A and B are shown apart, each in its own frame.
Chain A
Amino acid sequence: GAGVSQSPSNKVTEKGKDVELRCDPISGHTALYWYRQRLGQGLEFLIYFQGNSAPDKSGLPSDRFSAERTGESVSTLTIQRTQQEDSAVYLCASSLGGDRRVQPQHFGDGTRLSIL
């Protein structure tokens, strides 16, 4: 079956521009997560959605970052006024509902964001 799909796979933009990253989770997965991964490092949690609500936004690094989810499906991560330190791979994952501490997460292959 189809896995988690992210678009674009690569994005190059100039400092100060806004970018929007998209995630299509696995059908039927009510939980959705965004992570950031800098080169050679582990994953940094950004935000978690259960359905369309985001009970945990604790990982968003600044108010330039925001995310939304509609129809318990597609999610978009928006970064405003991008900075060079935003350059990273942004990964999306989805999982079945229920206890998020138990459900394995299924990851997309990420969007590689490069800020010039």
Chain B
Amino acid sequence: LAKTTQPISMDSYEGQEVNITCSHNNIATNDYITWYQQFPSQGPRFIIQGYKTKVTNEVASLFIPADRKSSTLSLPRVSLSDTAVYYCLNYGQNFVFGPGTRLSVLP
């Protein structure tokens, strides 16, 4: 069963770069790694997805090492509005969203 592990919470300050690392236990060969962001009272929102190496979009970067046993979401220069819960996911045979990482950005 595909399972991910990530820190329960993180604190940061405005303007800093934040890196959230997720471990991907039993990731399947053809699984992609996907990250979502969730604000209170809203559904999760897709941030970024990758298979290996590095992917960058206008919001974040995603680093995946060659063995694909982990991934790191990098948020450059966070602001207060980035305070949210972040979920890493590799779908596998089940869509398992763990408890996520609660990021608090402080002024």
| Interface of A toward B, CB cutoff 8 Å | 4, 33, 35, 41-45, 48, 58-59, 91, 93, 100-102, 104-110
B contact patch SS: loop
Measured between beta carbons, the chain A residues less than 8 angstroms from B45 are 107
For the complex of A and B, 8 pairs with smallest distance between CB atoms: A107-B43, A43-B97, A104-B46, A45-B95, A101-B91, A42-B97, A42-B99, A42-B98
- In the complex, what distance in Å separates the CA atom of A58 from the CA atom of B92? 13
- Of residues A35, A42, A44, A108, which shows the largest number of chain B Cβ atoms within 10 Å of its Cβ? A42
Judge whether B97 and A35 touch: CB under 8 Å.
yes
Judge whether A110 and B43 touch: CB under 8 Å.
yes
Judge whether A33 and B99 touch: CB under 8 Å.
no
What size tier do the contact residues of chain B reach? Answer: 20 to 34
Judge whether A101 and B92 touch: CB under 8 Å.
yes
Measured between beta carbons, the chain A residues less than 8 angstroms from B30 are 101
| Interface of B toward A, CB cutoff 8 Å | 28, 30-32, 34, 36, 41-46, 49, 87, 90-92, 94-100
Measured between beta carbons, the chain A residues less than 8 angstroms from B94 are 45, 58-59
- In the complex, what distance in Å separates the CA atom of A42 from the CA atom of B88? 11
